[in-house]
Amino acid sequence: MHPFVRYINDFTHLAFPFNCFGCHKALEEGELPICDDCYGGMPLTKYWQHDENAVEKLFWGKLPIEQACAYCFFTKHGMVQELMHQLKYNGKPIVGELMGSFFGRQLLGTAYADVDVIIPIPLHASKQKKRGYNQCDFIVKGMAKELGKSYNLTVVERLRANETQTKKGVYERWINVKELFKVVQPQFVNGKHVLLVDDVVTTGSTLEACADALLQVPGTKVSIATIACPSPF
Ligand SMILES: [Zn+2]
């Protein structure tokens, strides 16, 4: 049996036949909602095998992060973009759990598998209510299951909804993300090595703000993992 087919069984409300979330090809019964071609063609970064990778460098000189990586490259109009769209905007959280489990499998045996607890970047309550779920919660669940780790979805709270940052200058962006997060349950991360998870990393400013809040808790160490990052090509 395909190692991820068991996840299908957790989502029995999905009736066959249906189409791959990545390429929309019709699936056979028993195939995952991300088909074998999409799974095999995932543009992996392999950053988890390399210190000083492009994601880790985003945090250099800013925060003492243990390590950081992304699972695959996000290319415009590519399969990963389609998967992220399904996950975030088309009500398909199972995509997050599957991608999380694929990623977790890659991280087995690496230093990322040595963390104590996995936590998601939270959405602001208003945004989560609107979407119905936090996509990162599902990524975290998939990763935790594969890595055999505990997770906690409520350690950190997001104090404001995120505004679009693309047209802002450096100073405005800094003000915008400053004190964006609050650790509301520090007892769950105190003295722990936390793996902080987001769906996509671009500038790293959101992850930086959340990691900064976590690092205020005594004895906390933070590693970072995201599903996608921009392609360097
Ligand atoms: Zn596919």
β-strand 117-120 against 181-183: which pairing, if any?
unpaired
The helix/strand/coil state of 151 is: strand
Q: What are the residue ranges in the chain where pLDDT is below 70?
A: 1-17, 162-178, 233
pLDDT confidence of residue 154: 96
d(Cα 77, Cα 135) in Å, to the nearest integer?
Answer: 20
* Neighbouring-strand partners of residue 157: 182
State the distance from the centre of ligand 1 to the C-alpha of 148, rounded, in angstroms. 27
CATH number of 42-230: 3.40.50.2020
pTM of the entire predicted model? 0.88
pLDDT confidence of residue 28: 81
State the distance from the centre of ligand 1 to the C-alpha of 90, rounded, in angstroms. 16
d(Cα 179, Cα 205) in Å, to the nearest integer?
Answer: 12
State the distance from the centre of ligand 1 to the C-alpha of 44, rounded, in angstroms. 16
State the distance from the centre of ligand 1 to the C-alpha of 25, rounded, in angstroms. 6
State the distance from the centre of ligand 1 to the C-alpha of 21, rounded, in angstroms. 6
State the distance from the centre of ligand 1 to the C-alpha of 42, rounded, in angstroms. 10
pLDDT confidence of residue 32: 83
Domain locations in the chain as residue ranges: 42-230
d(Cα 83, Cα 20) in Å, to the nearest integer?
Answer: 9
State the distance from the centre of ligand 1 to the C-alpha of 82, rounded, in angstroms. 10
State the distance from the centre of ligand 1 to the C-alpha of 76, rounded, in angstroms. 16
Instruction: Tokens 């520090």: give the residue.
Output: 186
State the distance from the centre of ligand 1 to the C-alpha of 98, rounded, in angstroms. 13
State the distance from the centre of ligand 1 to the C-alpha of 79, rounded, in angstroms. 8
Q: Report the greatest alpha carbon distance in the chain.
A: 52
